[in-house]
A and B are shown apart, each in its own frame.
Chain A
Amino acid sequence: MFKKITSKQMTPICTALVAVVFIYLGLTKYGFWGGVKGPLPGFVPTIVAVGLLIMSVLALLQSFKEERGNFPALNWMAAAGALGVILATFVIGMIPSIAIYVILWLKLFEKASWKNTLIVWCIIMAIVVGVFVLWLAIPFPNGMIGDMIMG
């Protein structure tokens, strides 16, 4: 029963914590039932959160029977790549960030050939620039540097 706490246990613990926060705020801040007005903003969230709390406890009890999951470090590389693009967007803008990201990813991480890298890069940029920027005129952020140049 008292094995090490793994992600299997963390998930229901987290949902239970969310439930407690929602119940607390629902009852103290947003109101539950208002006489002839019927349910107040806190009504549904509070009821649902009580249900979530109970189910989370059940899931927690169940979770001790499960094997622990594995999280290969490699998988987080995809997330790290996306995070890199998000952070770079604030500095150099979204389109250049994506352009650089795709090249760096394919060249440095996947060690792809220049030919394949450029083909993939061209297709991605054609979709992003052609469809989203030119045709649909989505105003992508320019980042700090872009804004400085554009004035």
Chain B
Amino acid sequence: MKKQLAFVMAGVMAASMMLTACGGSSSSSEAAGSTAESTGSAAEGEAQGAWAPSKSIDWFCASSPGGGSDIFSRMITDIMTKEGVTSETFLVTNKTDGGGEVVKAQVSETKAGKQADHTLMTFNVGELQPMLLNTDRRIEDFTPIAVMALDKQLLFAGPKSPYQDFQSVIDAIESGKSVNVSGSKGDDEAVYAALLAEMGWTEDQLVYVRHDATSDAITTALGGHSELVIGKPAATSSYVAEGVEASKKLTPVLAFSTERFTGALGEAPILSEVDPNHKDVELPTWRGVCGPKDMSPEAAQFWSDALKKVSETEQWKTEYLEKNQLIGAYMDLEETKEYMTQAQVDYLASIGKAE
């Protein structure tokens, strides 16, 4: 019996391994055994093209399927496959435990080696801020690889709101009233905080009602349960377009930018236009990619170049940027590191956690 059992066990092991290999399942990327293959510094100077993926790539996304980060991850891996950046497969894995902190820990701590060079993760401002707020992990614990796109917000008035332009909001608050603004968590709230700082208001004068997603915040505003709503163009522009029924229309009242948007959103003035005594409030949010801290420079360079290629494709421009009304802003390794580090410094300062 033992013999038979051993035989069956061996068979199962073999079968499941074959299946995992050809069936497109994946290897979990918990600190893989380090085969000190690509960690060597031999090829450092002439890194470009020296390294190429040699196994399937684990691409992690800290939010659920269907959300903004997920679409971003899948769009990039799709283009990379189509463009023939590598013939290896990309395995996009959504891991949301611990509000996404678990997967950030896992990626950042992946030990140097083959696995580290084949691990990437979607990293947005919405990933960075909660991490800084709630954990001791910092951007230095990752290898920043690229920033791919920038996004800016606008302030809208709901259809039932008594304030249909920003001047009337200022007047109301100055006359002692309090105004509600609904919005999503994370970066939208950061813009709200920046607006408060610029206007010199308190949280009780302009009250932020936090929602789980911009769509929830819009529902609240359309129903007249909040007066204003903060959102990005992709989520809001369909409520501004020509021909929308008056009861479902949002009016853009302020653009969080240094210049006006185009199209219907261009209606919204920037802050310096409303009141020349104030500076424009702009806090662009970004979508980017990071790797483990221990990723080899060669691999980082490879991925940086691959993402540059993606950012230049027609598919990226029309099917991602244009459709979601984002601003294409590819940054290389150096720029990305600088940009993300600066974002960290700014955010830590804003929450009084400066280091």
Contacts and interface: CB of A to CB of B under 8 A. Distances in A.
A–B contact, 8 Å CB criterion (strictly below)? yes
A87 interface: no
Interface string B13-51: 100110110011111101011010000000000000000
B9 interface: yes
B351 interface: no
A103 B25 contact: no
Given A133-B20, A151-B55, A151-B114, A141 B28 contact: yes
Contact of B30 (A37, A103, A147, A151): A147
B5 interface: yes
B189 to A, nearest CB: 15
Contacts of B33: 144, 147-148, 151
A151 B35 contact: yes
A20 B55 CA distance: 51
A95 B30 CA distance: 17
Interface size for chain B: under 10, 10 to 19, 20 to 34, or 35 or more residues?
A: 20 to 34
Interface residues of A, number: 28
Contact of B5 (A103, A125, A146): A103
Interface string B49-62: 00000010000000
B25 A140 contact: yes
Given A103-B5, A103-B8, A139-B91, A147 B16 contact: no
26 contacts: A92-B13, A95-B16, A96-B12, A96-B16, A99-B12, A99-B13, A100-B12, A107-B1, A114-B4, A129-B16, A129-B19, A133-B20, A133-B25, A134-B24, A137-B24, A137-B91, A138-B25, A139-B26, A139-B91, A139-B93, A146-B20, A146-B27, A148-B32, A148-B33, A150-B27, A151-B115
Interface of A: 36-37, 92-93, 95-96, 99-100, 103, 107, 114, 125, 129, 133-134, 137-142, 144, 146-151
